[in-house]
């Protein structure tokens, strides 16, 4: 919980505000895993997102009409789904934008959504 009474996810130097995250059950102390669907993340789409962060492209994986772009955030793999026309290149600096309210938190030990 942050000073404003809302929740936030923190990993290394990344702090993602979660606002009034709707917990499936009361959170217990301990490590959690942050999850957001690749299609809920925008790549290089300008400002206006509740949360944005800079990252470097690790791998570009063409999947037909879509492409999965893999990045590293806080030493963890993170994927974004983009259309084939907007595909970045390996090692390209990009900006990710998303609404943290679309995210889910999971108990790292059990995999259960919290």
Q: What is the pLDDT of residues 49-101, one digit of tens each?
A: 888 999 999 999 998 888 999 998 888 888 888 887 778 999 999 999 999 88
pTM metric for this prediction? 0.77
- The answer for residues whose C-beta is within 8 angstroms of residue 27's C-beta and 6 or more apart is 105, 114
At the fourth CATH level, the homologous superfamily of domain 7-107 is Nucleic acid-binding proteins (2.40.50.140)
The tokens describing 59, both together, are: 């791998």
Q: What percent of the chain has pLDDT over 70?
A: 93
Q: How many CB atoms lie within 10 A of CB 34?
A: 19
């Amino acid at each position: 919980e942050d000073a404003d009474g809302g929740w936030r996810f923190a990993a290394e130097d990344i702090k993602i505000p979660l606002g009034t995250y709707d917990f499936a059950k009361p959170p217990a102390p301990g490590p959690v895993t942050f999850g957001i669907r690749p299609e809920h993340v925008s790549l290089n789409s300008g400002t206006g997102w509740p949360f944005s962060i800079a990252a470097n492209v690790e791998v570009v994986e063409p999947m037909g009409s879509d492409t999965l772009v893999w990045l590293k955030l806080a030493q963890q793999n993170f994927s974004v789904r983009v259309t084939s026309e907007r595909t970045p290149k390996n090692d390209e600096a990009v900006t990710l934008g998303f609404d943290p309210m679309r995210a889910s938190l999971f108990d790292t030990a059990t995999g259960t959504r919290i």
